[in-house]
Amino acid sequence: MPNQEITIYHNPRCSKSRNALALLQEKGIKPLVVEYLKEPLNSEQISDLCAKLKMSPEQLLRKGEPTYKEHYSGGNLNAKQAVNAMVDHPILIERPIIVCGDQAIIGRPPENVLTILDA
């Protein structure tokens, strides 16, 4: 298990996010919980998460969300536009995101969090 602090970017209304948090807690980990809908991320934080996830901002977007369809449907967003969309509408950020040091993973399925614990 890593000695570094673990952070979870969490939406308590999402069952996958709740399950990932519960899995961490079952392993005796007390992560720093960031409810990103209450504490929106800025563009630098989103870009940093993308780098740790080794994903493009476009890959981090939840394109199935009604907000995405309402505001961005039909358009292919570039990286900067995708980051700005997530800043403006945090609900569009894929969840949950678990960060440990310079590594991060999407907790979908929640069992994915176990891979970052073994890293």
- CB 106 within 8 Å of CB 112: yes
In CATH, what class is 6-117? Answer: alpha beta
| pLDDT at residue 3, as a whole number | 60
Closest CA to 62 of 7, 25, 115, 17: 17
**pLDDT tier at 95 (50, 70, 90 boundaries)?**
very high
Q: Is 100 a catalytic residue?
A: no
Q: At what angle do helices 79-88 and 43-53 cross, to 10 degrees?
A: 120
Spatial CB neighbours of 108, under 8 Å, sequence gap ≥ 6: 16, 94, 95, 96
The structure tokens 């991060």 sit at 104
Closest CA to 118 of 27, 51, 15: 27
State both tokens at 77.
Answer: 């967003």
Q: Is the pLDDT of residue 2 over 60?
A: no
Residue type for position 71: H
State both tokens at 2.
Answer: 């890593």
| pLDDT at residue 87, as a whole number | 98
pLDDT in tens, 74-86: 778 999 999 999 9
Q: Is the pLDDT of residue 1 over 50?
A: no
pLDDT in tens, 4-62: 799 999 999 999 999 999 999 999 999 999 999 999 999 999 999 999 999 999 999 99
Among candidate residues 1, 4, 11, 14, the one labeled active-site is 14
CA dist 116 and 119 (Å) reads: 5
Residue type for position 72: Y
